[in-house]
Amino acid sequence: MASPITLLLVRHGQSEWNAQGLMQGQTAHVPLTAFGHSQAELAAAELAGLAPGVLISSDLLRAVQTAEHCARATGLPIATTPALREQGYGVLEGRPSRELWDVVDWTDPSWAAEGGESLAELHARVAAFLGQLCADPPADVVALVTHGDTIRAAQAVVAGLGADAMPAVTPHNGSVTRLEICD
């Protein structure tokens, strides 16, 4: 049995598209706002107090910019991976989120927008990544800088729940969520 690992999941700070109410998904180039940088700095200070041994980030710009604050606060280098990306929304990315309530089937874990990714696919991607962490732990405390839906998927995986039972509440931008895995 593997030793438990503490995951510290940092949701990126507010991005320009968060502020504009646009669906981001895996759009790579969206930067943080000034407020988002402030949120990232506060999350980084909290993270430093929790002493992670490794820092891994989604490779999307808003997460990398947040991870840069975390790296400065912790002294850790940043490793990036596409495994921690947000759920892909394909052709819906860049559209106003309020227009999508009647387009997206939020209750069906197998639904995906054209060119996007279903909740079931997101859940499977996150489960595979967490499985790799358990198989070859890089540290006892691992900081992951990522996205809201990805954090919800991680919470479901750790709780032994499927994509159909992911938590409904998305953590706030700049928050740190603690989970224990591999025990």
Query: Between the CA atoms of 78, 79, 84 and 88, what dihedral angle is there, to the nearest 10 degrees?
Result: 90
Distance separating alpha carbons of residues 156 and 113, to the nearest angstrom = 22
Residue environment code for 41-79, b if the CB has 16+ CB neighbours within 10 A, otherwise e = bbbbebbbeeebebbbbbbbbbbbbbbbbbbebbebebe
Q: Is 12 a catalytic residue?
A: yes
Q: Is 123 a catalytic residue?
A: no
Catalytic option among 68, 86, 93, 117: 86
What type of residue sits at position 48?
A
Catalytic option among 12, 37, 123, 147: 12
**Residues marked as catalytic:** 12, 86
